[in-house]
Amino acid sequence: MPRIRTSRTRAPPAGFEDIEPILEEYETKMRDAENESQEGKRKAEGVWGILRVTHLRSRYIYDLYYKREAISWELYDWLLEQGYADAALIAKWKRTGYEKLCCVRCIQSRDMNYEGSTCICRVPRAQLRPGTFVECVHCDSTSTTCFDMDDDARPGSAAGQAKAEATSRPTSPGGAMPKPVALQSNEQWLMRVNRDGLPICRDLHGLFTTVIISLCDRWPDWRYPLAFVLPALVQRMQALQFVQIVRDSANGMQNMLSLSQTKTSFIMSSETAMRICQAFIDAALLQRTESTEDEVYAPSPKGLHLIDRFVTRHGIATRSVSNLLNLHELCDKLLFLERDEQDDVLLSDAVVRIVFHRMVGLSPRRTESNALGMALQATHARDSTGQMYETAHFASSEALAWLVNYTTLVSVDEAIVLGAHMVRLGWLEPETGLPPTRSNRVATVRVDASLRVDGAECEGTFVEGETYHITELGATVAWKVDWVEQPTTMFAAEQRPPTSFFQGNPTNVMRSVSPRLDEFEGYSSYVDANPPPSVSPDLAPPSRANSTRITPASRESAPEAAKEAPAPPTAKPSYTLQDVLTQAPLRRAYASFLQQRGEGTWLRLWCHIEWFRSDCRLATSGALTSVSDDDPTSALPSEVVQPTNARPTGMDGPQMRTSLRGLLVESAHVRLGPYVDDDVLADVHAPFAAAWRRFVDAPPLVDAVPSAEAARKSEQTLAKLLVQCAAAQKHAKAQLQSPLLTPFLEALARGDVSL
């Protein structure tokens, strides 16, 4: 305890006024620890809070003089003389092996159960058996961490511990040291915060797991098993000890070898603890229980998933944590979103695409919400050409609830912004046109026109309370794409385009989505909006122009005469366009029929794109050795034996395709080149030709093994070309369907065309 200052006390040296407010706050914490109730505590627990504040204040003064060199020797000696720090403990910290000593009592060999032994907290962590959890009876420290906790430390004591890394050396006006409170202050940066002044997502999850694991040792209220009231959680948050780690790195590179490191311990105010606890609720990490007496909370399935992930990674195997995980419902899968390390925002549209792909699931016929997708109501709608396609619609509230409960989004506000990006990208459309003024939450996002992808808008709005349906493009993204691995990217935060297709964190290989290489169409068949007279009447287009749901009831309500009418003798065979394209005899006969009419370009284009995709698949495995120039309609890649080859060790798919870029460029010339200067593609010709030229005009590779940057650039151009190939193939199928297929089937029925 500091001595009481009297008229005889020597005046403090210069510089004391800069740190006096911080010392006064430590003194306030000391008085709170001294006046804390001892009810329900063991005998040894009564002094834990006092020893903790003494340790933190001593470490603070020690760091000021020995680490930061921020105070003079005269001030340092005066502080020790006046009792602001434990001189004996600081003397031990200067010795090798005792840098993290929690208290001097822990190294005394006297008064121990075994002669010559020391406290259990001095046992190296590597020498403890897995799953062992012990705490020092003198000061409540755990293993060799004392009141400090690194990433791989085991939290779990009643006090709990957490880490907060700072991105730069903390400063405050006047050059003084930062205050140990006001976590959300923009001037002190004791922890990285987002735009709302709350800890970033990763640190928020770390705080949550730490405080819940610390609560598992002794639940604050016996009336609520495995649950707690909010004030008890706030009180436990105030008991957490934070460690600020400041690293001075070479040229400001955080990933380089640290040249120096400084640690300073801090404590949390009640206002900050309350804000963070409210952030836990907003992020769906906590949920209300059925108790009616107080606001009783328990960890949600999402929060329990984070706890289970944390204890599995760090080997925590206590009975209290196991009871918590076994008695509550656990979310089996949680979508972790990649965020920027500086501003904590989502990285790119690729992240939005992944979230959308998971949110709508694998089918438009989902009846319940779970980790694999939300509940959808299947329906049908018309595309721009009048054809019917299968889709689904849902309420915005259900989408927002799913995004918060099954992803690492930290609030409904983030979820509604993510929904606005889905609207901007053209994947969702509103149905009822609810005015934004009648909604509680509305989000509008805008991006630069130079950064948006093809077909996307610059602005999108998501309105809570609206009903949305999945557009034709959204159905393509959701149910007609496949997963592929993408190479690491090295874009800085200010350089990343928000609409880029291949963007990721510079330190992680991100899994993104790209057009499927084997089949872009075919998750479900289209219903012809303008059927010929011989088609069943129950598929006739409705009189209304809007979307119509086709149900079994509508089929049963068809006229009986239409159901029982026999087919005419000369009815054409019931072959679909997909049958004609995939069955070799029909396709060859169709090619001859079109050649006689001078319309063979469309079928050759469709088959050439199939062969180009096959070349891409062969290049992925390293089996592409040559490009043939045979008739594409005679056989498809699925009808011939393809070569196989084992991919070299250490090369992923994108790098393998990049190394064989020369053969892929040759394939693009042979398969797609004849259609670049031809205007048969109409509206899709310009983007198709531009994507083709960007791919074939790219500079050749120099290295045998391409770098990550070279693979990224090559994959970018290849992905854009494949997207345009899919659009061209769809346009070709539309031409092969409406004006050409019916005469071919009639000629086939008459016998004019032979198989």
Q: Would residue 538 count as lying in a domain?
A: no
Alpha helices in 560-645 (DSSP H): 560-564, 577-582, 584-597, 601-621
Task: Based on the fold, state whether residues 593 and 720 are members of the same structural domain.
Answer: yes
- Asked whether residue 239 is assigned to any structural domain, the reply reads yes
Residues 266 and 375 grouped into a single domain: no
Name 87's Cβ contacts closer than 8 Å, sequence gap at least 6.
80
Structural domain harbouring 370: 349-515
Total structural domains within the chain: 4
Q: What is the pLDDT of residue 134?
A: 60
Same structural domain, 308 and 427: no
pLDDT for residue 251: 42
Q: 123 and 159: one domain?
A: no
**Would 598 be classed as within a structural domain?**
yes
Nearest-angstrom CA–CA distance, 507 and 614: 32
Does residue 434 sit in the same domain as residue 505?
Answer: yes
Question: 123 and 153, same structural domain?
Answer: no
Q: In 350-485, which ranges are E strands? A: 377-382, 388-395, 428-430, 442-446, 459-463, 467-470, 481-485
Q: Phi first, then psi: give them for residue 40, nearest 5 degrees.
A: 80, 5
Structure-block tokens of residue 245: 């780690």
**Which contacts (CB < 8 Å, 24+ apart) does range 369-373 have?**
369/398, 369/401, 369/402, 370/406, 371/331, 371/332, 371/333, 371/334, 371/335, 371/406, 372/333, 373/402
The whole-number pLDDT of residue 455 equals 64
Judged by phi (left if over 0) then psi (alpha if -120 to 50, else beta), residue 380 lies in beta
Handedness of CA 77, 78, 80, 85 (dihedral sign): negative
How far apart CA 482 and CA 438 sit, in angstroms, is: 39
| 721: nearest Cα among 522, 475, 514 | 514
Cβ-contact 285, 408 below 8 angstroms: no
Do the domain assignments include residue 455? yes
Indicate whether 620 and 711 sit together in one domain. yes
Task: Tell me whether residue 356 is in a domain.
Answer: yes
- Single residue among 65, 96, 130 that ends a domain in this structure: 130
Residues 107 and 37 grouped into a single domain:
yes
Around Cβ 129, how many Cβ atoms within 10 Å?
5
Q: What is the pTM of this model?
A: 0.43
Residues in Cβ contact with 290 at an 8 Å cutoff, skipping those fewer than 6 apart = none
Q: Are residues 407 and 461 in the same domain?
A: yes
Of the three residues 303, 332, 361, the one that is the final residue of a domain is 332
Give the CA radius of gyration of the chain: 34
Q: Among 364, 327, 111, 324, which Cα is nearest to 214's? A: 324
Give the pLDDT score at 320: 78
* Euclidean distance between CA atoms 54 and 83, whole angstroms: 10
Residues of the chain predicted below pLDDT 70: 1-7, 111-118, 125-135, 138-192, 195, 220-223, 241-267, 291-294, 341-343, 347, 450-455, 480-574, 646-647, 650, 702-704
Single-letter code of the amino acid located at 719: A
Pair (174, 60) in one structural domain: no
633 plus 699 within the same structural domain? yes
Is 557 a member of any domain? no
Burial label for 420, CB within 10 Å (0-12, 13-18, 19+), is buried
Q: Assess whether 663 and 705 both reside in one domain.
A: yes
Task: With respect to residue 20, please indicate whether it lies within any of the assigned structural domains.
Answer: yes
Note the pLDDT of residue 116: 58
Q: How far apart are CA 38 and CA 140, in angstroms?
A: 15
Asked if residue 549 is part of any domain, the answer here is: no
Which residues are CB-contacts of 109 (< 8 A; sequence separation ≥ 6)?
Answer: 115, 116, 117, 118
CA distance 41 to 155: 20
Last residue of a domain, one of 274, 306, 332: 332
DSSP of 31-85: HHHHTS--TT--GGGGGHHHHHHHHHHHHHHHIIIIIS--S-HHHHHHHHHTTSS
